[in-house]
Structure 1
Amino acid sequence: MIPFRLDELAELLGGELLLPADTDARTVVDGGVETDSRLVSAGSIFFALPGEVTDGHLFAPAAVEAGAAFVVCREDLGLEVPQLVVADGLEALGELAREVVARVRAGGRLRVVGVTGSNGKTTTKNLLRAILAEEGPTVAPRDSFNNQVGAPISMLRIDHDTRFLVVEMGASGAGKIARLVSIARPDIGVVLKVGLAHAGGFGGIDATEEAKAEMVVELPETAVAVLNADDDRVARMAGRTAARVVTFGQAPGAEVRAEDVEATAAGTRFTLVVDGVRRPVGLRILGEHHVMNALAAIAVVRELGIDLDRAIAAIEAVPRAERWRMELFERPDGVTVVNDAYNASPDSVAAALKTLAQIARPEGRRTVAVLGEMAELGEYAQEEHDRIGRLVVRLDIRKLVVVGDAARHIHAAAGLEGSWDGESVLVADADAAYDVLRDELRSGDIVLVKSSNSAGLRFLGDRLAATGADS
């Protein structure tokens, strides 16, 4: 983080500064900001925040022991380092991020890109990071740091040398993205897709659309809104922003367009059409749905004035979307495992199943889908799990293993499709699924493992990928 004096932070965040004896209020702190005591290092600033499972105040002593130089908390914890007592630690974290971004932006060098959407945020962020890091100092979130805590922490990693900041913005309800936009003030705001991911929490697809639109509604006319022309709900956001609109997609009118998309086990190829130029692009990332993420990234860097050939070379070098996202493993026994179980929504499961069918078709390989629950769908849960079961049949996936009672409607729907001569098995948990597959898999099979993070199937995918695993 950029340097601040302790008294300056107290004034900025509106808290009570508690200083150990012989500590000067003008002492400067400039360490990394953390909310997880396990990530603290010497000089860190630790925000003790209450969480869903535990309370960060319980871990403040451990943070100090690990080297934290300053703690922001809601009460005096009797620590041996300076403390700032504030009424709302989350609010203080956001305000600090707002000030840091504003100060760095004042230098005239920083460009900020915000990315949201029901699917594809992390992949698009990773592609942008790959391109922008070749152009200058770039900060982008680690993992999926995209909520009201993770996004500000990512913003706080910038310094006066940072040229590009990419902020991934997720939301659990109305107003969340708007707050992150107000903090980061993106020069370019990207909306990838409006889908049913977390629809149960939002209260439906219309509410999800409203929440995602927050990315572009407050953008000034000097900014750019990058919108998915293939998604009607995203495309109509063009009428809700003062920003200049740039579109991407496979639709004929998209300004940054893909044609001739082809997905194989080696990656995904397409022809990029932009500004009257056609360029072949070969992604190492598996799945045609990632073409949209690549188009969004190219649309952004086009606005930043980055050379198209350099941008293509950068995204072509990205080996995978992210850990546990369409991650491909080739076992020595000829079995291919695609581990895509970091998260799941109806759209992402459908896309993964279509990719499974596409990459198996040329060689006639047997397809196996291992599917768990798609969480946070609320009233849509049964209908959407049913739809996925029917899609498995329509794509002629040869074997289906459904894991957990919460996903049982996938199994039931597939079994009711009389035209299908594949096989569906419902098992209680990941261990049971492993036992079934250990004896079933044979050379040439392609196995997709897909579920929401809460189902834990990403570890089953790792286990299946491991050579000689027998436990």
Structure 2
Amino acid sequence: MIRLDNLLYGVQPRATRQAVVVPPPWDGRLIGPVVTDSREVTPGSLFVALAGERTDGHRFLPDVVARGAAAALVSPVTLAALAPDLAAAARPWRLIEPTESALLANVPPEACLLIAVDDPLQALQRAAVYHRRMFTPTVIGITGSVGKTSTKEVVAAVVSQRLRTLKSQRSFNSDVTLPATLLGLTADHQVAVLEMGMWAAGEIRFLAALARPHIGIVTNVGPSHLERLGSIEAIANAKAELPESLPAEGWCILNADDPRVAAMATRTPARVLTYGYAPHADVRVTDVISYGLYGIELTVVYQGAQHRLRTPLIGKHHAYTALAAIAAGLVLGLDWEAIAAGLRAPGEQLRLRVVQSQTGVTIIDDTYNAAPLSTIAALNVLAETPGRRIAVLGEMLELGAATEEGHRQVGAAAAQTADWLVAVGRQAQTMAEAALAAGMPPDRVAICPDNESAIDLLNQMIRSGDCLLIKGSRGVQMETIVAALQA
């Protein structure tokens, strides 16, 4: 939430900002949360009219006004071109320049304010920077090729045991959604846990300039986004923008088991704390026991003392998630009781979830996204489950030159962890061939060209007691398979 006067001041270009004095009854008005999808508008929201690949948010302003938005950031030129029917909106509205706050005295308090700006996205980012500078939370930035959202959730669960914490919702990690999260800061927040993603070099540095993190966590470097950045080295350089942006009095928390991440210790002015299995890791795990779908137990050594911890996180690979959260808790001065409590309650937004179908089938739903590393980790989870283990694997996107090799790695891993492989989509043949070459019997490998054919096949083959892993990149929408099987 942001006060209207701060919003009107913050959206202005910094070099030409003019003072804002909001008259009654608008003074003190709080606006938020920030949304960019008109379908998510609720009374009091701030809508940001963005131009997308397929449409433009200005087209939906009549609906935004009708749904009760308190304000919207708009381009007057685009507004005139794309929303001519706004005059017939079901609720009063007023187009206003940020410097025209005095005119609000004549605007009914129930009206939706359309705030005219040069560029809605840049105005949102300027407002976020201004709002961020009004508060003094410890900001934790998290990046990496895989595991950002899970790490963010568990870090927030740990630090919130002792400190009032704001966290990114869902996977809000872009130049649009991170500023939206920053506008949720209040004076009550002691910590903000923010996920930072990237599509190109320079983006994490830009996000860090917006958020000004004190603590940075880098989980790993892998081939995700290889198609855009061209090489693993370029991806590592992009991720290193977070450590490079930290202050000298801050902390850089690095995965000691990933050589490219560990090397970032030389690229940050901040103090460094490492985690992992490596003997030289500062926060070191020495033993992990998996209880299948019921979580893991791990022994952690820090400064010579051992700590036995339990978490409902599924799969041994989540030892890294837990370690990153432990490290964050330690640099913030949390005691081990609080850390253990946080690990037992890792939040509700973890992407891998276990659901039961009406026919008695257990579904491991990991459909949000996929890369070779995360898919092989999910297959290892499947290997620890009872019943017939069926891996339903879709295409992994944005791997560039590593596309074929990545799908071969996954196919080979499926042969070692699953009883059946149902390969779906354009790379199904590659995964199937690798599984066969690794020893999976031909009658246990199926190729489906699309999700619909996979649903048809699975409805014929599955039976009560089976366990299915369903995973693929976000763009191939494997969640439709989960929904069909649940029904």
Q: Which residue of 2 aligns with 1:345?
A: 371
Letter in 2 for 1:84: I
Are the equivalent residues in 1 in contact too, given 2:389–2:467 (CA < 8 A)?
Answer: yes
Q: Which residue of structure 2 aligns with residue 310 of structure 1?
A: 338
> Where does residue 134 of structure 2 map in the other structure?
103
1:30 equivalent in alignment to 2:61: no
Shift of 1:94: 1.5
| Distance (whole Å) between structure 2 residues aligned to residue 121 and residue 36 of structure 1 | 23
Match of 1:367? 389
Q: Distance in 2 between matches of 1:313 and 1:3?
A: 35
- Paired residue for 2:50? 49
8 Å Cα contact 2:380-2:417 kept in structure 1 = no
Say whether the 8 Å CA contact 1:217–1:241 is kept in structure 2: yes
Deviates more, 1:250-259 or 1:295-304: 250-259
Of residues 278, 290, 296 in structure 1, which corresponds to 2:318? 290
Pair 1:139-2:166 in alignment: yes
Check conservation: 2:154, 2:347, Cα contact below 8 A: no
Q: Distance in 1 between matches of 2:12 and 2:177?
A: 24
Cα distance in 1 between the residues matched to 2:25 and 2:12 = 11
| Runs of 4 or more consecutive aligned structure 1 residues displaced over 6 Å after TM superposition | 14-17, 22-26
Q: CA deviation at 1:246?
A: 0.4
> Is the CA contact (8 Å cut-off) linking 2:428 and 2:449 kept in structure 1?
no
Q: Distance in 2 between matches of 1:275 and 1:463?
A: 50
1:70 aligns with 2:71: yes
Q: 1:437 to 1:50 in 2, by over 3 A?
A: same
| 1:75–1:86 CA contact under 8 A, matched in 2 | yes
Residues 343-365 of structure 1: CA deviation (Å, up to 9, x unaligned): 001110111112212x13xx5x4
CA contact (8 A) 2:10 2:128 kept: no
Deviates more, 1:205-214 or 1:440-449: 440-449
Following superposition, the deviation at residue 215 of structure 1 comes to 0.6
Residues 48 and 72 of structure 2 are in contact (CA less than 8 Å); yes or no, is this contact kept in structure 1? yes
CA pair 439-221 structure 1, distance change in 2 beyond 3 A: same
| Superposed counterparts of 1:237-386, under 5 Å | 237-263=264-290, 264-318=292-346, 322=350, 325-331=351-357, 334-357=360-383, 359-360=384-385, 365-386=387-408
Q: Matches of 2:348 and 2:311 in 1, distance apart?
A: 9
Number of the residue aligned with 1:410: 431
Q: Which residue of 1 aligns with 2:445?
A: 424
The Cα of 1:26 is off from its aligned counterpart by: 7.9
1:280 counterpart SS class = strand
Q: In angstroms, what is the RMSD of aligned CA positions?
A: 2.5
Distance of 1:367 and 1:388 partners within structure 2: 15
Q: What is the distance in 1 between the residues matched to 2:374 and 2:326?
A: 21
Aligned to 1:123: 150
CA apart distance, 1:274: 1.7
What is the CA-CA distance between 1:321 and the residue it aligns to? 5.7
How far residue 267 of structure 1 moved from its aligned partner, in angstroms, is: 1.3
Matched to 1:327, the amino acid is: R
- Structure 2 CA distance, aligned partners of 1:61 and 1:31? 19
Contact 2:157-2:347 at 8 Å conserved across structures:
no
The match for 2:240 is: 213
> Contact between 2:153 and 2:347, CA under 8 Å: does it hold in 1?
no
Q: Do the aligned partners of residues 30 and 451 (structure 1) sit closer, same or farther apart at CA in structure 2, a change above 3 Å counting?
A: same
Quick one: which amino acid aligns to residue 398 of structure 2? E
Q: Distance in 1 between matches of 2:364 and 2:285?
A: 25
1:436 aligns with 2:437: no
AA at the equivalent of 2:393: L
Distance 1:9 1:26, change over 3 A: farther
Aligned-partner residue type, residue 97 of structure 1: A
Using the TM superposition, give the Cα deviation of residue 66 of structure 1 relative to its aligned residue in structure 2, in angstroms.
Answer: 1.8
Matched, 1:87 2:118: yes
How many Å apart are 1:463 and its aligned residue? 3.1
Q: Could you list the per-position Cα deviations for residues 440-462 of structure 1 after superposition, in whole angstroms to 9, with x for gaps in the alignment? A: 22344321111011111123124
Match of 2:109 in 1: none
Write the deviation string for residues 214-243 of structure 1: whole angstroms up to 9, x where unpaired.
111121211110000010000000000110
CA drift of 1:59 comes to 1.6
- The answer to which of 404-413 and 55-64 deviates more is 404-413
**Partner amino acid for 1:173?**
A
Deviation of residue 389 (structure 1)? 1.3
- Structure 2: distance between partners of 1:25 and 1:209: 51
Counterpart secondary structure, 1:311: helix
One-letter amino acid of the counterpart of residue 322, structure 2: A
Q: Secondary structure at the match of 1:292?
A: helix
Correspondent of 1:458 among 456, 465, 479: 479
CA contact (8 A) 1:15 1:84 kept: no
TM-aligned CA deviation for residue 410 of structure 1: 0.8
After superposition, give the CA deviation of every residue in 1:325-373 in whole Å (9 maximum; x if it has no partner): 321134575532211111001110111112212x13xx5x432100000
Give the Cα separation in 2 of the matches to 1:247 and 1:171: 23
Give 1:435 shift: 2.0
Give, as a single letter, the amino acid of the residue that structure 2 aligns with 1:104. Answer: F
Shift of 1:249: 0.8
Conserved in 2, the CA contact under 8 Å of 1:29 and 1:69?
no
Q: Distance in 2 between matches of 1:320 and 1:69?
A: 29
TM-score, normalising length: structure 2 = 0.86
SS of equivalent residue, structure 2 residue 370: coil
Aligned AA (1:449)? I
Give deviations 1:121-140, integer Å, cap 9, x for gaps. Answer: 11111112222333233211
Aligned equivalents of 1:418 and 1:352: distance in 2? 20
How many equivalent pairs are there?
A: 452
- 1:275 Cα deviation (Å)? 2.6
* CA–CA separation in structure 1 for the residues paired with 2:358 and 2:25: 62
Relative to 1, partners in 2 of residues 1:29 and 1:48: Cα closer, same or farther, differing over 3 Å? Answer: farther
**Aligned partner (choices 196, 202, 219) of residue 169 of structure 1:** 196
Answer yes or no: is the 8 Å Cα contact 2:382–2:417 preserved in 1. no
Question: For residues 39 and 321 of structure 1, what CA distance do their matches in structure 2 show?
Answer: 18
1:119–1:369 distance in 2 versus 1, CA, 3 Å:
same
